[in-house]
Amino acid sequence: MPPHPVIAVVMDQPETRSALGADLRRRYGADYTILELGSDNVVPVLSDVHSLAVVISTVELAGRVMGVEVLGGVRRAHPDARRVLLVDRGQWASHPVRRAMVLGQVEGYLFVPWMPREQWLHLPMAEYLADWSRTQRPEIVAVTVVGRRWDDRSHALRDMLSRASVPFAFHDADSEPGRAAIADMRLDSSVLPVVRFHTGEVAVDPSDITISELLGFRATRPGLLCDVAIIGAGPAGLSAAVYAASEGLSTVIIDPSVPGGQAGTSSRIRNYLGFPRGLSGSELTNRATEQAWLFGAEFVLARRAERLHRSEVGYVVSLSDSTDVTARAVVLATGVEWRRLGVPSVEALLGVGVYYGAAGAEADALEGEPVFVVGGGNSAGQAAVHLARHAESVTILIRSQSLAASMSDYLIGQLEAVENIHVRAMTEVVGASGQTRLQRLTLRQRRTGTEEEVAATALFVMTGGQPHTDWLPEEVQRDSHGYVLTGDDVSSATLARAPLFLETSLYGVFAVGDVRHGATRRVAPSVGYGAIAISLVHQFLAEHD
């Protein structure tokens, strides 16, 4: 068995196979075993490999076998391996390649010839290997968490660290590693979870504020003053922060958790401009966070905005830790929260098998288990594809007759191509049960009213959102569902002037992203409107200087 993770080159052209293998070996040979294989019996050979990182195959193999078929066979044994097609230049737009990408049968492609190597071989290979490494246990962890596997707080900590891309290890308190870690920290298991940082600091049942500060995000301080306060650190808020800070505005960005919002939980975003191979939501938002920080934006995390009121300077945002942020202008980017199912027996198992969003942190713990996803949007589809790599089966439950009205075509195609993903239309969850965690769901067929009980280890609910706007003052106009009105949608009869494009009924307070009435719930528009909001902030501030 190879001593290192494997990069496999599968093709029936000896010269090309040898040349690609040699180039890969020169760059990656110290850390990976490079296997060069023909198409004969390749699936059984690779199934016996302990750790397969990347497998590269040509579009066509000998005997009319398609490379996609071989890659599909490999996936059953190695669900996390990155599958890559080797494409002749000019062939990349051909139907088999496009179809394989759209259906999620491959994660990417390499060109033949692959010169210059740094651009066309090593750059994409670095992305594939980085993607694969994120699915593996980290070699060195920054944080160790010991808790109960099905405890709500343990789940919340795993989700927080996962979305922040912090390498961490989780040990169940009753496992041998868990008991050893607790003993090493000279604690007992009476109070859980326990978190140990790479610095040696230990926190017993820490708050989100403690975690964010130990991760390096600063605490609030009395009298924090800025040009613009951005409330919400999803794509819209992060975009606004990048443009505000880069254009010289002192910027504070506030979020009740870690940066990313709902987009941060997406396992793969395939339709974001400039990323043809796609990228994860956490990767996108972590890059944006770093970008905003480099321009000087200040992050105040794990605090929820609870009140907004006028001041002599502009506005005061009162936070859940009893501190205030004073700003000359405010950008609302609070997004939406997952809509609750409202079924008491389901809510009783929240965090112990029932989760709203947040599929990424739990996927590897669901190996061989039956999993259900409620929702028909892109987030639900991406979560299902991600979970299917580990779960025995993933069943998507939707109240409507089909996914066509709510999910992108490319994602529907991917779902259809994954054998262990099933869609049940006109179906809703009406009950849940389990001793200490979720074990069974009760489903109702909406057309007939027939109820059925099914085994379930996890339920991920992604049923659309409701805006978090009840904390805003009455002067901020909202629609009947609570979404913030901006620009021409604002009733301006009693106002001194008509609001600017993204401005609310409070002058100097702007709204972007999903919280805004009429918003297109996609990452790209949210990013665009975040940038536009800052140009309007400049206009507002210029009028009041």
Tokens encoding 154: 């343990």
What is the secondary structure of 134-174 as a DSSP string? TTSPPSS-SEEEEE-TT-HHHHHHHHHHHHTT--EEEEETT
pLDDT digits (tens, 9 = 90+) for 442-495: 999 999 999 999 999 999 998 877 898 999 999 999 999 999 999 999 998 889
Backbone angles phi and psi of 146, in degrees to 5: -120, 125
Query: Where does the pLDDT of residue 423 fall: very low under 50, low under 70, confident under 90, or very high at 90 and above?
Result: very high
For residues 539 and 417, which has the higher predicted lDDT (pLDDT)?
539
The correct answer on CATH 3.30.1490.20 for the domain covering 344-463 is no
Quick one: pLDDT at residue 280? 82
- Are 431 and 343 spatial neighbours (Cβ–Cβ below 8 Å)? yes
Q: Which CATH architecture has domain 224-337+466-544?
A: 3-Layer(bba) Sandwich (3.50)
Please give the average per-residue pLDDT across 505-513, as a whole number: 97
The Cα–Cα gap between 195 and 169 comes to: 10
Quick one: pLDDT at residue 514? 92
Query: Where does the pLDDT of residue 519 fall: very low under 50, low under 70, confident under 90, or very high at 90 and above?
Result: confident
Alpha-carbon distances of 215 from 162, 287, 301, 321, 409, rounded to whole Å: 13, 16, 11, 18, 39
Tokens encoding 265: 């939980």
Alpha-carbon distances of 497 from 312, 319, 487, 488, 490, rounded to whole Å: 20, 30, 11, 11, 11
Is residue 92 predicted with pLDDT exceeding 70? no
Alpha-carbon distances of 110 from 66, 84, 424, 447, 536, rounded to whole Å: 16, 7, 37, 48, 43
- Are 227 and 328 spatial neighbours (Cβ–Cβ below 8 Å)? yes
- Are 303 and 201 spatial neighbours (Cβ–Cβ below 8 Å)? no
Cis (ω within 30 of 0) for the bond into 116? yes
Is residue 293 predicted with pLDDT exceeding 60? yes
Quick one: pLDDT at residue 102? 66
The Cα–Cα gap between 306 and 470 comes to: 9
Please give the average per-residue pLDDT across 424-442, as a whole number: 92
The correct answer on CATH 3.50.50.60 for the domain covering 6-133 is no
6-133 and 344-463: identical CATH topology: no
pLDDT digits (tens, 9 = 90+) for 43-77: 899 999 999 999 999 888 876 678 888 888 888 88
pLDDT digits (tens, 9 = 90+) for 121-145: 999 999 999 989 988 888 888 999 9
pLDDT digits (tens, 9 = 90+) for 264-291: 777 777 778 888 777 888 889 999 999 9
CA 470 to chain centre: 26
Quick one: pLDDT at residue 178? 93
The DSSP bridge partners found for residue 111 are 87
Quick one: pLDDT at residue 373? 96
Alpha-carbon distances of 240 from 291, 297, 321, rounded to whole Å: 11, 10, 24
What is the secondary structure of 224-263 as a DSSP string? EEEEEEEE--SHHHHHHHHHHHHTT--EEEEESSSTTTGG
- Are 221 and 323 spatial neighbours (Cβ–Cβ below 8 Å)? yes
Quick one: pLDDT at residue 249? 98
Query: Where does the pLDDT of residue 147 fall: very low under 50, low under 70, confident under 90, or very high at 90 and above?
Result: very high
CA 254 to chain centre: 19
Is residue 233 predicted with pLDDT exceeding 90? yes
First-last CA distance in the chain? 70
Please give the average per-residue pLDDT across 7-11, as a whole number: 95
For residues 429 and 198, which has the higher predicted lDDT (pLDDT)?
429
Which range is least confidently modeled, 119-123, 241-245, 365-369?
A: 365-369
- Of how many residues is the chain composed? 545
Is residue 1 predicted with pLDDT exceeding 70? no
- The count of other CB atoms within 10 Å of the CB of residue 93 is 8
The Cα–Cα gap between 352 and 347 comes to: 10
Query: Where does the pLDDT of residue 384 fall: very low under 50, low under 70, confident under 90, or very high at 90 and above?
Result: very high
- Are 197 and 214 spatial neighbours (Cβ–Cβ below 8 Å)? yes
Please give the average per-residue pLDDT across 218-243, as a whole number: 89
One CATH from 3.40.30.10, 3.30.200.210, 1.20.1440.120, 3.40.50.300 for 143-214: 3.40.30.10
Q: Where are the beta strands (DSSP E) in 408-530?
A: 421-424, 427-433, 440-445, 451-455, 458-461, 465-467, 509-511
Mean confidence (pLDDT) of the chain: 90
Which range is least confidently modeled, 161-165, 256-260, 316-320, 393-397?
A: 161-165
Please report, for the chain, the start and end positions of each structural domain, with discontinuous segments joined by +.
Answer: 6-133, 143-214, 224-337+466-544, 344-463
Quick one: pLDDT at residue 93? 56
Please give the average per-residue pLDDT across 197-225, as a whole number: 83
Query: Where does the pLDDT of residue 156 fall: very low under 50, low under 70, confident under 90, or very high at 90 and above?
Result: confident
Quick one: pLDDT at residue 176? 94
- Are 484 and 511 spatial neighbours (Cβ–Cβ below 8 Å)? yes
Residue 213 in 3-state DSSP?
A: helix
Quick one: pLDDT at residue 222? 63
Q: What is the value of pTM for the model shown?
A: 0.84
Is residue 501 predicted with pLDDT exceeding 80? yes
